[in-house]
Structure 1
Amino acid sequence: MSQQPIKFAYWIPNVSGGLVVSTIEQRTDWGIDYNRRLAQTAEKAGFEYGLAQIRFTAGYGAEYQHEPVAISHALLAATEKLKVIAAILPGPWHPVVVAKQLASIDQFTGGRVAINVVSGWFRGEFYALGEPWLEHDERYRRSEEFIRVLKGVWTEEKFSFQGDFYRLHDYSLKPKPVQQPHPEVFQGGSSRAARDMAARVSDWYFTNGNTPEGIKAQVDDVRAKAAAEGRSVKIGVNAFIIARDTEQEARAVLQDIIDRANPEAVNAFGAEVKNAGAASPEGEGNWAKSSFEDLVQYNDGFKTNLIGTPQQIAERIVALKAVGVDLVLSAFLHFQEEVEYFGRKVLPLVRELEAQRQKVA
């Protein structure tokens, strides 16, 4: 188990509809004023990162979307320590454009921007943009080139690259980012191609929500492959957190979310993402085995089971750390109130349990 304290990130609600596909009331707003206040609350509560989502078109409850790089810059301007991870989709973006954007933001903020490279799951979005829809493993191959270009441009004086998707000739980026050797690169996925790519080029690997046993299998695979490359990769896991004073209250909220799920939207989302997950050669990509209830939360966040009292949740977080998780990517129903509650009631218990385990070790 890592000796470093486990880190926490929150999903920035920069798209409408919140983080569940349900008609339940969500006191969460996608607008900039709400998000500025939320970023400040999260920073004060002890969250190290916020992740700005990438969506180009409406669908599955997300009628409106703020662009992730733009909102990242706005939230960084409203905070002092929080690092914001901008999600980027290869295809619509060229890696040099992204490298230049993020290098400038990194300069402006003293090194507080990161990137999450999303290989793509929404075929309809690519169609709407007139972008080619690549086969599953080809999407990851493009993402790997994208990351190699980012890192090359950020770290080399003159960078050349000859790939199948990108080509550069003695390109020089100035100014470089503040962070050394470069801003952190996050990447998600559960398929073999995703894990293999993370082992070769990414700094962080995000996986969908899962049991500790399911997460451990992915962690062990990624870390073994990274070690063979002479690298190390940190692991983040998605979780929808429902922390209440009693377990009964928390479970009632979960049931209410599922009971009020929007079946049409959930099933449409499920059809799209299961197609993406099952399209991996081994049929093991994200969402390939998700149930209707799992899909009510976009990234299988209920599966991680951070639902209950502060003590129960803290114990489960430390159990995730024990199987190799370095970061919990958190979603909530009512973000503003629940992020504050998490920082006040749950996070101190996590730190106590970590300290106890460190003494025993």
Structure 2
Amino acid sequence: MSRTRPAPLKFAYWVPNVSGGLVTSTIEQRTDWGYDYNRKLAQTAENNGFEYALSQVRYMASYGADHQHESTSFSLALLLATERLKVIAAVHPGLWQPGVLAKWVATADHLSGGRAAVNVVSGWFKGEFTALGEPWLEHDERYRRSEEFIRVLREIWTSDNANFQGDFYRIHDFDLKPKPLDVPGRPHPEIFQGGNSTAARRNGGRVSDWYFSNGKDFDGFSEQVTEVNQHAEDAGRAGAVRFALNGFMIARDSEREARETLREIIAKANSDAVEGFRSAVQQAGASTSDKRGMWADSTFEDLVQYNDGFRTQLIGTPEQIADRAVEYKRRGANLLLLGFLHFQEEVEYFGRHVLPIIREKEAELDARSPEALLQSVPGPTPAA
């Protein structure tokens, strides 16, 4: 019985282009939001097994993040400082016009040799929109707008005379030249989109190349994979969506040391900032029709890492982390998006100590019988 060899698990890291690190805690975080630090980090990451980096999007101070660099310009700088790393710029519909973004991505793609990507973020921070004088839509309307936004991007990148008639965007005979680069295995720059809500899962299946999940345990992640794949099948896109999962990694030589680090992070949490963030995001989650929005069931401890990264439980020895990573792959993960306490040192530790064990365990998984592999819910082979 012949079968296709599963693609290796891919890895991305959160770009710390926002001050305060990746946990809202007063614990020491040997990281920096400036460009010099991030340029070196990007170069280290691409030499330690990371294929992607995700630049965060914040426009104003909030919940412990006092300063921030704009995501698209920062992403381009990192693309030009690296050779292989693909950089995903997070963007907000409502603050970007899709035709303008399509042009920016096409230019960045040419300058970087085909390594530009976008993460379409429907938005949770009402204050940013109102401070800029932009209307704040209700939850499901934000996701309807995001779906149109993604459809417009794809139409402009793949059509000579793009046309689109929607409720939020209208494009008339728009001809983008130059188009993004023709990269084998990629019809256009990759489009990521995430969330936990019913609307987010529907968008993931209907229009996205990649679905980003907030931190989830095994069962929570499997549930999302199943639902998004069903939406994709209903839309005539069966097998078209790949899955990325957020996780905060604490890899140490002993499990006790890793767990003590987690305990200290939470013990030193900035309570006011975490509670402020919790109030804002859980209001957004509760505004969905079925109360199943992002962060709807997150605890205080979960939100100390503001994308529920502790829930993925990538915490322990390299062996323990590798076991969990490969189990997530078996359940459908194509990529793990990682945050760290001390980025530079821990990215290097990951490349030296964790990644080799993951590759060994992937080989063991691949060597199992086809019947065992059929228990998984794989996505398609990722683009080269």
TM-score range, shorter chain: over 0.9
CA distance in 1, matches of 2:330, 2:363: 13
Is contact 2:245–2:333 with CA below 8 Å preserved after alignment? yes
1:283 equivalent to 2:309? Answer no
Note the alpha carbon deviations across 1:296-339, whole angstroms, 9 max, x for none.
Answer: 00100000000000000000000111111111000000000001
Q: 1:2 to 1:214 in 2, by over 3 A?
A: farther
Match of 1:225 in 2: 231
1:122 equivalent to 2:125? Answer yes
1:36 equivalent to 2:42? Answer no
1:352 equivalent to 2:352? Answer no
Q: 1:181 to 1:78 in 2, by over 3 A?
A: same
How do 1:202-281 and structure 2 match up within 5 A? 202-231=208-237, 232-281=240-289
Match of 1:335 among 340, 343, 358: 343
Match of 1:182 among 160, 183, 188: 188
Task: Provide the identity percentage.
Answer: 62
Moved over 2 A (4+): none
1:326 equivalent to 2:360? Answer no
Match of 1:293 in 2: 301
Match of 2:316 in 1: 308
CA distance in 2, matches of 1:274, 1:93: 25
Q: 1:341 to 1:205 in 2, by over 3 A?
A: same
What residue identity is the alignment partner of 2:89? A
CA distance in 1, matches of 2:315, 2:327: 14
CA distance in 2, matches of 1:343, 1:113: 23
Greater mean alpha carbon deviation, residues 13-22 or residues 225-234: 225-234
Is contact 2:274–2:300 with CA below 8 Å preserved after alignment? yes
1:86 equivalent to 2:89? Answer yes
What residue identity is the alignment partner of 1:186? F
Is contact 1:2–1:321 with CA below 8 Å preserved after alignment? no
1:72 equivalent to 2:80? Answer no
CA distance in 1, matches of 2:5, 2:26: 39
Q: 1:2 to 1:94 in 2, by over 3 A?
A: farther
Match of 1:103 in 2: 106
CA RMSD, Structure 1 to Structure 2 (Å): 1.0
Q: 1:2, CA displacement in angstroms? A: 7.6
What residue identity is the alignment partner of 1:225? H
What residue identity is the alignment partner of 1:246? S
What residue identity is the alignment partner of 1:294? D
Is contact 1:90–1:117 with CA below 8 Å preserved after alignment? yes
Q: 1:225, CA displacement in angstroms? A: 1.6
Q: 1:160, CA displacement in angstroms? A: 1.1
What residue identity is the alignment partner of 2:172? H
Match of 1:191 in 2: 197
Is contact 2:5–2:366 with CA below 8 Å preserved after alignment? no
Is contact 1:2–1:324 with CA below 8 Å preserved after alignment? no
What residue identity is the alignment partner of 1:256? E
Q: 1:265, CA displacement in angstroms? A: 0.3
Q: 1:61, CA displacement in angstroms? A: 1.2
In the alignment, structure 2 segments of 5+ residues that lack a partner are 370-384
What residue identity is the alignment partner of 2:281? V
Match of 1:11 in 2: 14
> TM (normalized to structure 2)?
0.93
